Structure 1
Amino acid sequence: MGARAAPGVSAGEAAQSRVADAVAGHWVDRLAPRAARPYLRLARIDRPIGWWLLLLPCWWSAALAATHAGMPWPDPRHLILFLVGAVAMRGAGSTYNDIADRDLDARVERTRLRPLPSGQITARAAAAFLAAQALVGFLVLVQFDGFAILVGLCSLVPVAIYPFMKRVMAMPQLVLGLAFAWGALMGWAALLDQLASPALLLYAGTIAWVVGYDTIYAVQDIEDDEIAGIRSSARLFGPRLKPAVALCYGAAVILIGAAAHAAGAGWLGYLGLAAFAGHLGWQVLRVQARDGHGALTLFRSNRGAGLVLFLGLAADTIQQGWAS
Structure 2
Amino acid sequence: MQTPHQTPEAQRSVADAPPDNWVDRYAPEGWRPWLRLSRADRPIGTWLLLLPCWWGVGLAMIADRPTWRDLWIVIACALGAILMRGAGCTWNDITDRDIDARVSRTRSRPIPSGQVSVWGAVAWLVAQSLAGLVILLTLGKAAILLGVASLALVAIYPFAKRFTWWPQVFLGLAFNWGVLLAWAAHMGGIGLAPVIAYLAGIAWTVFYDTIYAHQDAEDDALIGVKSTARLFGTDSRRWLLRFGAGAVVGLALAVLAARPHGTALWLALAGVVGFAGHLAWQLKRFDMNDSAGCLRLFRANRDAGLVVALFLTLAGLV
* TM-score for the superposition, normalised by structure 2: 0.95
Cα distance in structure 2, aligned partners of 1:4 and 1:190: 46
Asked if the contact 1:60–1:310 (Cα under 8 Å) also holds between the matched residues in 2, the reply is yes
Asked if the contact 1:21–1:110 (Cα under 8 Å) also holds between the matched residues in 2, the reply is yes
Asked if the contact 2:271–2:310 (Cα under 8 Å) also holds between the matched residues in 1, the reply is yes
Matched, 1:114 2:113: no
Per the TM alignment, residue 18 of structure 1 is displaced from its structure 2 partner at its CA by 2.0
Give the number of aligned pairs. 310
Per the TM alignment, residue 245 of structure 1 is displaced from its structure 2 partner at its CA by 0.8
Per the TM alignment, residue 34 of structure 1 is displaced from its structure 2 partner at its CA by 1.6
Q: Which runs of 5+ in 2 are unaligned?
A: none
Per the TM alignment, residue 3 of structure 1 is displaced from its structure 2 partner at its CA by 4.4
Q: Which residue number corresponds to residue 276 of structure 1? A: 275
Cα deviation 1:26-64 (Å, max 9, x = unaligned): 121122122211100000000000100000000011011
Cα distance in structure 2, aligned partners of 1:2 and 1:282: 42
Matched, 1:60 2:49: no
Cα distance in structure 2, aligned partners of 1:203 and 1:17: 37
Asked if the contact 2:46–2:85 (Cα under 8 Å) also holds between the matched residues in 1, the reply is yes
The within-5 A match list for 1:299-314 is: 299-314=298-313
Cα deviation 1:182-233 (Å, max 9, x = unaligned): 0110111100011111010010000100111000000110111111111111
Cα distance in structure 1, aligned partners of 2:25 and 2:146: 39
Give the SS at the match of 1:75.
helix
Matched, 1:215 2:210: yes
Percent sequence identity over aligned pairs? 49
Per the TM alignment, residue 140 of structure 1 is displaced from its structure 2 partner at its CA by 0.8
In structure 1, what residue type is equivalent to 2:304?
A
The within-5 A match list for 1:105-184 is: 105-184=100-179
Matched, 1:189 2:188: no
Q: Which residue number corresponds to residue 9 of structure 1? A: none
In structure 1, what residue type is equivalent to 2:75?
I
Per the TM alignment, residue 144 of structure 1 is displaced from its structure 2 partner at its CA by 1.1
Give the SS at the match of 1:178.
helix
Q: Which runs of 5+ in 1 are unaligned?
A: 6-13, 320-324
Q: Which residue number corresponds to residue 317 of structure 1? A: 316
Q: Which residue number corresponds to residue 8 of structure 1? A: none
RMSD: 1.4
CA 1:3–1:63 in structure 2 vs 1: closer, same or farther (change >3 Å)? Answer: farther
Per the TM alignment, residue 71 of structure 1 is displaced from its structure 2 partner at its CA by 2.5
* TM-score for the superposition, normalised by structure 1: 0.93
Asked if the contact 2:14–2:108 (Cα under 8 Å) also holds between the matched residues in 1, the reply is yes
Q: Which residue number corresponds to residue 226 of structure 1? A: 221
Cα distance in structure 1, aligned partners of 2:150 and 2:269: 29
Cα distance in structure 1, aligned partners of 2:84 and 2:288: 31
Asked if the contact 1:72–1:318 (Cα under 8 Å) also holds between the matched residues in 2, the reply is no
Out of 78-87 and 288-297, give the one that drifted further: 288-297
Cα distance in structure 1, aligned partners of 2:254 and 2:127: 35
Per the TM alignment, residue 299 of structure 1 is displaced from its structure 2 partner at its CA by 0.3
Q: Which residue number corresponds to residue 257 of structure 1? A: 252
Cα distance in structure 2, aligned partners of 1:261 and 1:267: 11
Per the TM alignment, residue 70 of structure 1 is displaced from its structure 2 partner at its CA by 2.6
Asked if the contact 1:208–1:248 (Cα under 8 Å) also holds between the matched residues in 2, the reply is yes
Cα distance in structure 2, aligned partners of 1:96 and 1:259: 32
Asked if the contact 1:62–1:74 (Cα under 8 Å) also holds between the matched residues in 2, the reply is no
Asked if the contact 2:61–2:317 (Cα under 8 Å) also holds between the matched residues in 1, the reply is no
Matched, 1:44 2:39: yes
CA 1:101–1:248 in structure 2 vs 1: closer, same or farther (change >3 Å)? Answer: same
